[in-house]
Amino acid sequence: MKPPHDKGPGNRSGGNRSDGGPRGRAPDRAGPSRNGPDRGNPSRGDSPRAASSRTDSPRSDSPRSDSPRGDSPRGGQDKGRQAFRGSAKPSGAPRGESARSADAPRGERLSLAPRPQERAPERTHEPRAFQPPRGRGPGPVHQDRRATEAPKGTVWLYGIHAVTAALANPARRLRRLLLTEDAETSVLNGFPQPWPMQAERVDRPKLDHILGRDAVHQGAALLTDPLTPPSLAQALERPGPVLVLDQVTDPRNVGAIMRSAAAFGVAAIIAQERNAPDETGALAKAASGALEKVPFFKAVNISRTLVALKAAGLWCIGLDASGAPLSGTALSDRRIALVLGAEGEGLRRLTRETCDELAGIGQSLAMESLNVSAAAAIALYEVSRKA
């Protein structure tokens, strides 16, 4: 019969192993009992480490065989403790957190991967806040690109030729004249002093702020009242053909037509009241001074205006591709009123029916139509070629 504390292998009933353990472990180095405090080796009670572990760290009541402690000497046992302590973390711990290395000195920890809070923040593609394009959205840039509104009942004219012609027109009521140093020299060449009013010397940024950066002002701007349009009877007192514009709305096209009209001695230009541009700086710039030389007024009804022109002895010709080629020599004994329609749509039905005849411009089939201002220039040239 074996004694209660036999030194043979496999005896795990005691709280600790004896001196003759299978692995040759020293009795004073054995770990504390797992079955209760101080059941096996009473010498462990004198060790401060053992006392601390017994009082501060409660042990489980599982058998000795379930203990994670190794059966190696003290070095292996301590390393096993370190490995156990380092690896005893929740299953959901972040990857990269490892236990203490068995080869590292006691109390030292290997260089671990950075903790989640120490990791570099991941780059995220968050949607950027909307920023309006420069010069289009609200803000100082947009306000700087917009033209300053002229006082009610006035209009800003700009461009060297437009301003010079307006200064020379006695029918103009002038308000304010703004010129850069270079523009003042150019205006003097076209219209010597004395001028009807004193000019203000400004720089280009000032004009950009007033007129808008899209305005090609050439350093000259004039604030003036619109011209007072003449009556139809007054316009017909002037010699030359008459131009009638049926819903031509682009101010640059109208300005270019005015320039051609002044070159070929047109008596007046009539446009529809609702679908025609007003007198603006863009129109005056495209007209290049012709706004001051050719009367321009609007009529409520184009068809009735054509009837009035015919009553005054004019022959109304509507420009249309379906008509015969326009011939100036065949019209040598007549005063002509040329009627032009809008680009794309052409003459409206009632306007076409009111004209005395329809005529077209002889051109190559490679191009279907012409710009309305170009068609007006060609037709005026043909009409002026009277025998």
Let me know if residue 6 belongs to a domain. Answer: no
Calculate mean pLDDT across residues 23-44. Answer: 45
Beta-sheet strand order (sheet of 220-224) = 155-158, 220-224, 174-179, 199-201
Q: 140 vs 135, 136, 148, 150, 213, CA distance in Å?
A: 8, 10, 13, 19, 13
What is the model's pLDDT at position 152? 86
Q: Can you give the CATH number for the domain in which 217 is found?
A: 3.30.1330
What is the model's pLDDT at position 100? 46
Q: Can you give the CATH number for the domain in which 340 is found?
A: 3.40.1280.10
> Do 289 and 192 belong to one domain?
no
* The pLDDT of residue 75 is above 60: no
Domain end, chosen from 224, 250, 267, is at 224
Q: What total number of domains does the chain contain?
A: 2
Let me know if residue 31 belongs to a domain. Answer: no
Using one digit for the tens of pLDDT, what is the confidence trace for 210-266?
A: 998 888 899 999 999 999 988 999 999 999 999 999 999 999 999 999 999 999 999
Please state, in angstroms and rounded to a whole number, the distance separating the CA atoms of residues 261 and 384: 11
What is the model's pLDDT at position 128? 54
* The pLDDT of residue 293 is above 90: yes
What is the model's pLDDT at position 213? 84
Range of the domain at 345: 232-384
CA nearest to 334, candidates 209, 256, 193, 240: 240
> Do 215 and 279 belong to one domain?
no
Let me know if residue 14 belongs to a domain. Answer: no
What is the model's pLDDT at position 274? 85
What is the model's pLDDT at position 52? 41
User: In the predicted model, what is the mean pLDDT of the chain?
Assistant: 74
Q: Is-contact 208 235, C-beta < 8 A?
A: no
- pLDDT confidence of 162, banded at 50, 70, 90? very high
What is the model's pLDDT at position 362? 80
pLDDT greater at residue 276 or residue 49: 276
At 220, phi and psi to the nearest 5?
Answer: -135, 135
What is the model's pLDDT at position 166? 95
Please state, in angstroms and rounded to a whole number, the distance separating the CA atoms of residues 276 and 294: 16
Let me know if residue 59 belongs to a domain. Answer: no
Q: Is-contact 107 117, C-beta < 8 A?
A: no
Using one digit for the tens of pLDDT, what is the confidence trace for 127-153?
A: 454 454 454 444 333 333 445 677 888
Let me know if residue 81 belongs to a domain. Answer: no
Q: How many CB atoms lie within 10 A of CB 364?
A: 5
Q: Is-contact 59 34, C-beta < 8 A?
A: yes
Let me know if residue 45 belongs to a domain. Answer: no
Domain end, chosen from 202, 224, 246, is at 224
What is the model's pLDDT at position 307? 96
What is the model's pLDDT at position 370? 85
Calculate mean pLDDT across residues 56-64. Answer: 47
> Do 198 and 238 belong to one domain?
no
What is the model's pLDDT at position 332? 81
Percent of the chain surpassing pLDDT 70: 61
Calculate mean pLDDT across residues 173-200. Answer: 91
Let me know if residue 10 belongs to a domain. Answer: no
pLDDT greater at residue 56 or residue 268: 268
Residue 94 identity (one-letter amino acid): P
> Do 148 and 195 belong to one domain?
yes
Using one digit for the tens of pLDDT, what is the confidence trace for 326-372?
A: 988 888 889 999 999 987 788 999 999 999 999 998 877 777 778 89
> Do 361 and 246 belong to one domain?
yes
> Do 171 and 295 belong to one domain?
no
Q: How many CB atoms lie within 10 A of CB 144?
A: 13
What is the model's pLDDT at position 290? 95
Calculate mean pLDDT across residues 32-47. Answer: 45
Calculate mean pLDDT across residues 84-90. Answer: 45
- Radius of gyration (Cα) for the chain, nearest Å? 51
What is the model's pLDDT at position 381? 93
pTM: 0.61
Q: Is-contact 259 294, C-beta < 8 A?
A: no
pLDDT greater at residue 218 or residue 16: 218
What is the model's pLDDT at position 344? 78
